[in-house]
Amino acid sequence: MDFKGPFFKRDPVKTYRANQRDLMDKLAAEGERDVKLQMQAGQAQRYPLGGGIRPGRVSGHVVGRTSNLAGKRWQATAYVTVRNQGFTAKQGIKLMAAASWLETSIHPFRRTIGRMRRARALITADLLKGLD
């Protein structure tokens, strides 16, 4: 068999899916960075839950990812969350309570989502890059 011709020629330009994966990776990393910075800035506020997890420690558990916990890659989803893996039940509850308090007081996740939505035109341009 002869595998020549335009059908078998590999295109060096990234495809839409590859651009989409790269974009989701960038969004997850940027979202994680943005939420962490907002939480660290908000840690100076008084923390009402006493004992255990403090807001400054919550930012260390913020994770941006593009795959599920088993490692399967999502095609078009970027996810930023507080992860309590490796904690006891009591510690996990305290971590999530501190994260919830931070979200209700300074809204780091809501602000990050808004910033990403406002950047939609730039994001679309990145997706179509190299597709001529």
Each domain of the chain, given as residue ranges in start order, spans 16-127
pLDDT tens column, 47-75: 544 555 555 678 889 999 999 989 999 98
pLDDT tens column, 100-130: 888 888 899 999 999 988 887 777 776 766 6
pLDDT at 28: 93
pTM (predicted TM-score): 0.76
CA distances from 99 to 7, 37, 40, 60 (A): 52, 14, 12, 11
Percent of the chain with pLDDT over 90: 27
Count Cβ atoms below 10 Å from residue 1 Cβ, excluding itself: 3
